[in-house]
C-alpha cells in the first residue's frame, strides 16, 4: 500500500528554521575556514576543525529540523539514536576532510575539486544515513535519477562554498556564501525527499505514536549548543571582520631591512672618490 507522505506538517515553519540552521552552520564553518588561512601553521588545524564541526552540525541540524515536519499517514515514525548520531559523525568527518584539503592546498584547481567533492558527498551521506535511521511500518524507496540530482546539488554547493571561503574577502562575503550554501543544502534535502516513496506493509493498526518533533528535539540540543558556542568563539575573534593576518609575516617583522645595507655600501662607494681627491689636494701645497 502506498503511504501518503507529508513533508510540511507544520507549514513553512520547519523549512525556514532548517534553512536558518544551514546558513548558521555554513557561516560559522566558512568563516573559520577563511580565518585559518590568515593564521600561523600552529593555529590552522584548530580553526579548520572548528569549521568542520560547525558545517557538519549545521547541515545535520538542518536535516532533522526539516524532518520534524515529515510524517507518513497511517504509521508512526521512530528514529534509531545510534544511526542518527552516526550520521552526524559522518557529516563532520567527511566535511572535515574536504575543508582540510582546501585549507592546506588552497581553494583552486584539483584541491578545490577534491575538497568540494568529498564535502558534498559528506552532506549527501549524512542525509541518506539519517533517512535510514527512520523505522516505520513500511519500506522506503528512492528514485535513482532524483537521488543523483540531489548528490550533484550537494557537491556543487560544497565546491562553491569552499571557493568562496578561499577568497578571503571579508565577513560579508562569507555571509553571502553561507546564504547560498544554506539554500543549496536545503534544496538538496528537499530534492532527496522528493525522490522518496513509502510503501506501507499494513501489518499493524494505524497508531498516532510520538510526533517526530518530540522524538528529535532532545537529539538537537547538543548540536545546537555547539553551534551557539562556536558562534561566540567566532564573534569574539578580533579579526572577525576581515583585515590583516594574525601573525605578521617574517619579511615584515621589525628589524634592519636588507636594503639598508645596500644604502651603506652605496654611500661608501660614493665617498671614497671624494676622500681620495681631498687627500691629494692637501698634499700638493706641502710638496711645493
pLDDT tens, position by position, 7-55? 787 788 889 999 998 888 888 888 888 788 777 777 888 888 988 898 8
For residue 172, what are the CA distances in angstroms to 30, 139, 147, 168, 186? 11, 45, 33, 11, 21
CB distance 111 to 135 below 8 Å: no
pLDDT tens, position by position, 80-113? 888 888 999 999 999 999 989 988 888 888 999 9
Taking residue 20's Cβ as centre, other Cβ atoms within 10 Å add up to: 16
How is residue 2 annotated by DSSP? B
What's the grid cell of residue 97?
576532510
Which one, of 81, 71, 73, 95, lies nearest residue 22 by Cα? 95
Residues linked to residue 71 through DSSP beta bridges, in sequence order: 6
Task: Compute the distance between CA of residue 122 and CA of residue 228 in angstroms, rounded to an integer.
Answer: 22
Task: Compute the distance between CA of residue 80 and CA of residue 73 in angstroms, rounded to an integer.
Answer: 20
What pLDDT, on a 0 to 100 scale, did the predictor assign at position 93?
93
CB distance 91 to 123 below 8 Å: yes
39 φ/ψ sector (left φ>0, alpha ψ -120 to 50, else beta)? beta
What pLDDT, on a 0 to 100 scale, did the predictor assign at position 26?
85
Q: Which residues of the chain have pLDDT under 50?
A: 207-209, 241-256, 258-271, 276-282, 284, 287-288
What pLDDT, on a 0 to 100 scale, did the predictor assign at position 89?
92
What pLDDT, on a 0 to 100 scale, did the predictor assign at position 253?
44
What pLDDT, on a 0 to 100 scale, did the predictor assign at position 267?
46
Residues 6+ apart with CB under 8 A from 100: 45, 48, 52
**CA-based Rg of the chain, rounded to a whole angstrom?**
30
Amino acid at each position: 500500500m502506498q503511504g501518503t507522505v507529508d513533508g510540511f506538517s507544520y507549514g513553512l515553519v520547519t523549512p525556514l528554521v532548517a534553512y536558518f540552521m544551514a546558513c548558521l552552520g555554513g557561516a560559522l564553518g566558512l568563516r573559520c575556514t577563511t580565518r585559518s588561512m590568515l593564521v600561523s601553521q600552529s593555529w590552522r588545524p584548530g580553526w579548520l576543525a572548528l569549521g568542520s564541526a560547525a558545517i557538519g552540525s549545521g547541515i545535520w541540524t538542518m536535516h532533522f529540523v526539516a524532518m520534524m515536519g515529515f510524517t507518513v499517514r497511517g504509521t508512526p515514525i521512530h528514529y534509531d539514536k545510534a544511526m542518527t548520531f552516526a550520521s552526524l559523525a559522518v557529516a563532520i568527518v567527511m566535511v572535515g576532510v574536504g575543508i582540510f584539503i582546501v585549507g592546506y592546498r588552497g581553494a583552486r584547481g584539483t584541491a578545490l575539486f577534491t575538497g568540494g567533492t568529498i564535502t558534498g558527498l559528506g552532506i549527501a551521506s549524512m542525509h541518506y544515513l539519517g533517512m535510514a535511521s527512520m523505522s516505520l511500518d513500511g519500506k522506503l524507496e528512492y528514485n535513482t535519477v532524483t537521488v543523483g540530482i540531489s548528490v550533484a546539488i550537494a557537491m556543487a554547493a560544497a565546491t562553491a562554498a569552499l571557493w568562496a571561503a578561499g577568497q578571503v574577502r571579508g565577513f560579508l562575503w562569507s555571509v553571502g556564501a553561507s546564504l547560498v550554501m544554506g539554500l543549496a543544502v536545503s534544496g538538496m534535502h528537499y530534492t532527496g525527499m522528493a525522490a522518496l516513496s513509502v510503501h506501507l506493509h499494513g501489518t499493524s493498526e494505524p497508531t498516532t505514536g510520538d510526533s517526530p518533533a518530540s522524538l528529535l528535539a532532545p537529539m538537537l540540543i547538543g548540536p545546537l549548543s555547539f553551534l551557539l558556542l562556536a558562534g561566540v568563539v567566532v564573534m569574539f575573534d578580533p579579526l572577525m571582520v576581515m583585515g590583516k593576518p594574525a601573525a605578521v609575516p617574517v619579511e615584515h617583522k621589525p628589524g634592519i631591512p636588507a636594503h639598508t645595507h645596500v644604502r651603506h655600501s652605496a654611500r661608501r662607494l660614493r665617498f671614497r672618490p671624494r676622500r681620495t681627491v681631498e687627500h691629494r689636494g692637501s698634499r700638493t701645497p706641502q710638496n711645493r
